[in-house]
Chains A and B, each alone.
Chain A
Amino acid sequence: EPEVTQTPSHQVTQMGQEVILRCVPISNHLYFYWYRQILGQKVEFLVSFYNNEISEKSEIFDDQFSVERPDGSNFTLKIRSTKLEDSAMYFCASSDLPGPEQYFGPGTRLTVT
């Protein structure tokens, strides 16, 4: 069964450093998403991406964040200058149609020290 994959599974970084989280969506999917979940909190939407551009973003997704589809398979989330409060689980998701039938990857746990 096709699945969304994410690397790395755990990333530790120092405050102020840049991180790139990587995702490989399901191959025939066209819509891509990033969500985050701070420990003990709810899953929160960050951004959706379609046809090589951002289609929607939340207020969390400020200028420190960017997304890119650098090639035909990867979808990345970059945080330019990490803060302590960026520590969270980051989930990538994809879907073949716009809307709620989204498939989630296993997540990257980001720890900012």
Chain B
Amino acid sequence: RKEVEQDPGPFNVPEGATVAFNCTYSNSASQSFFWYRQDCRKEPKLLMSVYSSGNEDGRFTAQLNRASQYISLLIRDSKLSDSATYLCVVSSGNTPLVFGKGTRLSVIA
């Protein structure tokens, strides 16, 4: 049973495009939700936390639907530098982070 599921991609989009990633999680007790970004052979870096009310950080918007156990990330006006793997991460309070396998994004000039 996969705890956090993501479409692996790759998503190949032109610069300036809007792209959306989705993620589902199986543990209904999950309390904290995040999107991390991972560049090739590098460490995961926190992109943003995800709140029930939805939150926005510049070109990035994250949404959480607790009833459906579904998280999304929207990237507007894609840049070449957005090319990376985006990891959906959940946690049940003080328990360890549970990572999805990631969705690979390639932004093309």
Contacts and interface: CB of A to CB of B under 8 A. Distances in A.
Interface in A35-68: 35, 41-45, 48, 56, 58
Contact of B43 (A33, A44, A101, A107): A107
Interface residues of A, number: 23
Interface residues of B, number: 22
A2 B97 CA distance: 21
A58 B96 contact: yes
Nearest to A103: B46
Nearest to A42: B101
Contact of A56 (B4, B45, B96): B96
Given A100-B32, A100-B34, A100-B91, A45 B43 contact: no
Contacts of A98: 94
A33 B44 CA distance: 14
B97 A102 contact: yes
B68 to A, nearest CB: 21
A77 interface: no
Contacts of B98: 45
Contacts of B99: 42-44
A110 interface: no
Contacts of A41: 101
Interface in A83-101: 89, 91, 98-101
Interface of A: 33, 35, 41-45, 48, 56, 58, 89, 91, 98-107, 109
25 contacts: A42-B87, A42-B100, A43-B97, A44-B99, A45-B97, A45-B98, A56-B95, A56-B96, A91-B44, A99-B32, A99-B91, A99-B93, A100-B32, A100-B89, A100-B91, A100-B97, A102-B97, A103-B46, A104-B44, A105-B43, A106-B42, A106-B43, A107-B42, A107-B43, A109-B41
